[in-house]
Amino acid sequence: MESEVVKQSIEVVALGIEVFAVAIIVGGAIHGLVRYPFQQAKKITAAYSLLKEQIGKALLLGLEFLIAADIIRTVAIDPTFRNVSELGLLVVIRTFLSWSIVVEIEGHWPWKADVRKNSKE
């Protein structure tokens, strides 16, 4: 009986983290989209880049929380070989997505130095 309550509580926590992750992604996208017309009206030349960066950062943070929810759910509720394998696959996919977003935002792989920043110094 107690273990069922604990499992249900963990499931609720994991679901809460997932909802929070979605809120971060949607909130970040809306915030960027609301700011974009004002930046264009002020003739900010990098308005599109700033929008892309805002949405990318929201996606990155949201993905981190989604991974955390998956880890909590898998490890705490049902750590079977199949579930852990599925978790591993999800983490690999989300890590690849995160790296792709970083490349899109910064223009280089996460482990490489930004040549443009270093050349300006």
For residue 93, the SS3 value is helix
For the chain (121 residues), the mean pLDDT of every run of 10, in chain order, is: 83 95 96 91 85 91 92 83 89 87 79 60 46
50: closest CA among 66, 99, 21, 42? Answer: 42
Enumerate the domain spans of the chain: 2-120
Q: Tell if the pTM clears 0.85, that is, is over it.
A: no
Q: CB burial class (10 A; 0-12, 13-18, 19+) of residue 42?
A: exposed
DSSP 8-class letter at 120: H
Sign of the CA dihedral 73, 75, 80, 83?
positive
Res 27: pLDDT: 96
Res 119: pLDDT: 52
